[in-house]
Amino acid sequence: MIRQAIIPLAGLGTRLLPLTSVYAKELLPINGKVGLEYILDECIDAGIKEIIFIISKKKKLIKKYFYNDNFYKKIIKKKKDSRVINEYSKIKKYKKLIKFVYQNNPKGTGDAILKTKNLIKDKFFLILLPDDLIIKKNCSKKMISIHNRYKCSVMASMKVNRNTVKRWGIYSKKKNINRDNFYIKDVIEKPDVKSAPSNNAVIGRYILPKKIFTQLKKKQKGKGGEIHITDSIRQLIKQGEQFIGHGFNGKYLDCGTMHGYIKSSLEISKL
Ligand code: G1P
């Protein structure tokens, strides 16, 4: 059973400057709803019971967004606006699920995940990267059902343009299971076009085993001077741990770049 999810939120969001110079990118609205709420709703709908936010001192605004009870209470006391009451009860529902840990030096996703080590209770847990929105189908829910069937790690996959492989983690396939799923032979963080084993990219949904923490503890900086989760996953695969790549059916929206962020609002408004 997958009960816990981790959302790394300590990144600086430089690709979304100037918005992120004062604001947390995950709190930017996408078609009138905060981006992070789409991710939370995906978790809740997938049956997740606890969500661990990795934030930093610089991103305390995220905590404030969920812990602003007094502000809501004052407004509701003054006028009984049903919309505000609804929003408040929604925020309270989220708040009950969330725990916070801190990563004050942004040293990469691998380092961020390591900060949650003492909070993870089960053998497997879910990670969602908040820049990666997947709409129309709940990717996490589907991945959990695959995990329940095959009892192993599962990661989201999407075919990308060959010229863009340098931007992603890239899979090498071992064997197809069916049309949407395959066993992973290897995964490489941001390879050159020449050395990329495929154009199947890693998208930010991972079901990983608790034993990844042993690898993360040993990990040195990789590509771009960051500690990548991909490098520890690679190590586990080498040790014989089974990983499935899931080619999801939903629509992917890249909210981490200005172009993608603007496009995501347009796409969601069409739903
Ligand atoms: C991260 C991962 C990468 C993955 C990508 C998906 O990269 O390291 O393997 O393909 O997310 O969005 P980042 O976006 O942090 O550069």
Give me 265's structure tokens.
Answer: 């609002």
Its pTM stands at 0.95
Which residue is it, tokens 């691998």? Answer: 110
Atom of ligand 1 nearest to the CA of 169: 9
Determine the pLDDT at residue 224: 82
Q: Tell me if 201 CB under 6 Å of ligand 1.
A: yes
Q: What is the mean pLDDT of residues 224-242?
A: 94
Q: Tell me if 59 CB under 6 Å of ligand 1.
A: no
Determine the pLDDT at residue 271: 84
Domain tally for the chain? 1
What pLDDT, in 10s, does the model give residues 22-55?
Answer: 999 999 999 999 999 999 999 999 999 999 999 9
pLDDT higher than 90, residue 17: yes
Determine the pLDDT at residue 223: 82
Q: What is the mean pLDDT of residues 164-171?
A: 96
CA of 150 to the centre of ligand 1 (A): 25
Quote the domain boundaries for residue 106.
4-269
pLDDT higher than 90, residue 146: yes
Q: What is the mean pLDDT of residues 241-260?
A: 96
DSSP string, 74-132: HHHHH---HHHHHHHHHHHHHHHHEEEEE--S---HHHHHHTTGGG--SSEEEEE-TTE
Q: What is the mean pLDDT of residues 157-168?
A: 96
CA of 204 to the centre of ligand 1 (A): 7
Q: What is the spatial distance between Cα 271 and Cα 135, in angstroms, rounded to a whole number? A: 9
Q: Tell me if 232 CB under 6 Å of ligand 1.
A: no
pLDDT higher than 90, residue 240: yes
Residue nearest to atom 15 of ligand 1 (CA): 109
The residues with which 63 forms a beta bridge, in sequence order, are none
Q: Tell me if 129 CB under 6 Å of ligand 1.
A: yes
CA of 189 to the centre of ligand 1 (A): 8
Q: Tell me if 169 CB under 6 Å of ligand 1.
A: yes
- Collapsed DSSP state (helix, strand, coil) of residue 209: strand
pLDDT higher than 90, residue 258: yes
- The CATH number for 199's domain is 3.90.550.10
What pLDDT, in 10s, does the model give residues 203-230?
Answer: 999 999 999 999 999 978 888 888 999 9
Determine the pLDDT at residue 100: 98
Q: What is the spatial distance between Cα 227 and Cα 266, in angstroms, rounded to a whole number? A: 34
CA of 74 to the centre of ligand 1 (A): 41
pLDDT higher than 90, residue 251: yes
CA of 271 to the centre of ligand 1 (A): 26
CB 168 within 8 A of CB 192: no
If one residue of 132, 168, 234, 264 were mutated to test the ligand 1 pocket, choosing by the most ligand atoms within 8 A of its CB, it would be 168
CA of 92 to the centre of ligand 1 (A): 30
**Res. 136 pLDDT band, cuts 50 70 90:** very high
- Collapsed DSSP state (helix, strand, coil) of residue 15: helix
CA of 169 to the centre of ligand 1 (A): 6
Q: Tell me if 111 CB under 6 Å of ligand 1.
A: no
Determine the pLDDT at residue 220: 81
